[in-house]
Amino acid sequence: MYSTKHSLLSNNKNILIVEDDPINYMLLKEILTLNNYNVTIAQNGKEAVKIIKSDKNKFFLILMDIKMPIMNGFEACSIIKKIKNIPIIAQTADILTNTTEKFEKYNFDKVIYKPFSIDHIIKIVEFYFLENKKFKNLHLQLN
């Protein structure tokens, strides 16, 4: 099992994986569920937008592929960010045409290039989980 020191904290956290390749989403799902995350899969950007519209507070993080049928990751990220300011991490194997500036233009919070290491994915997810937890605790203290 892949774990980090914060994995026990993440028992009830939901992540949306937007990925059209079955091998990639099964790998991500396996990694994340082994680390106590709850995972929902969308196979394209249009499905992701529909899922977020139906329950915009369910997820604390989205892992978004870029090249997908029906609606690509850039378009989906732009729409989702208008619905909710949720961290969205781009996943891509295309290092030549997808520049940092392009990801910033579409409001991605971070980009990871495929193939990625398991440790790298877990560190990124744990970072966003802890940031989300800090924000929620601060919000509770202010109210």
Q: How far apart are CA 75 and CA 55, in angstroms?
A: 19
Give 16-37 pLDDT, tens digit per residue.
999 999 999 999 999 999 998 9
Structure tokens at 94: 């295309």
pTM of the model: 0.83
Structure tokens at 122: 């877990």
Structure tokens at 62: 């989205």
Structure tokens at 15: 């992540």
Per CATH, the homologous superfamily of domain 9-142 is Response regulator (3.40.50.2300)
Give 81-137 pLDDT, tens digit per residue.
999 999 999 998 877 666 677 888 888 999 888 888 888 899 999 888 887 766 554
Structure tokens at 108: 């991605």
